[in-house]
Amino acid sequence: EAAGEIAKSQGAKRKDDAAYHQALGEVLNAVTTAQIARESAVRLANNFDYTPGLPLLSDILARKTIAVRSAIEATTKALEAVGGAGYYRAFGLERLLRDSFAGQFHPFPEKKQQQISGRIALGLPPMTEHFDA
């Protein structure tokens, strides 16, 4: 969301720039997708009133993966929209980009999440003794 705000802040300077308009639209779509994934995960948690289980684990992890992927897309497209100034620390975007990439590693990288979800869908335990991903 912050990356979207940074990208939008450049709008006054780029009113006639079609490439900027498209990149900003892509940022906003990615932010919306991340918001939907987050809101869906919160809804599934039901204010901590839920029955723990593997299907719920799979659903929550999938939404985390979708949210992180969308955050990476939003920050990457925000950098594209803003241009080279986005690399300056004072601008604030480079940190958001770095932080969005870090989200891939908590609690599972995307490929491990997909393997876990696939195993759960087949009725298998979520992880093997020698987890390969």
Quote the pLDDT of residue 131: 52
Name the phi and psi angles at 91, rounded to 5: -70, -30
- Cα 76 → chain centroid: 11
Condensed to tens digits (0 to 9), the pLDDT of residues 42-97 reads 999 999 999 999 999 999 999 999 999 999 999 999 999 999 888 899 889 999 99
Residues whose CB is less than 8 angstroms from the CB of residue 1 and which lie 6 or more positions away in sequence, other chains included: 31, 35
Condensed to tens digits (0 to 9), the pLDDT of residues 99-126 reads 999 999 887 899 999 999 999 999 999 9
Quote the pLDDT of residue 130: 55
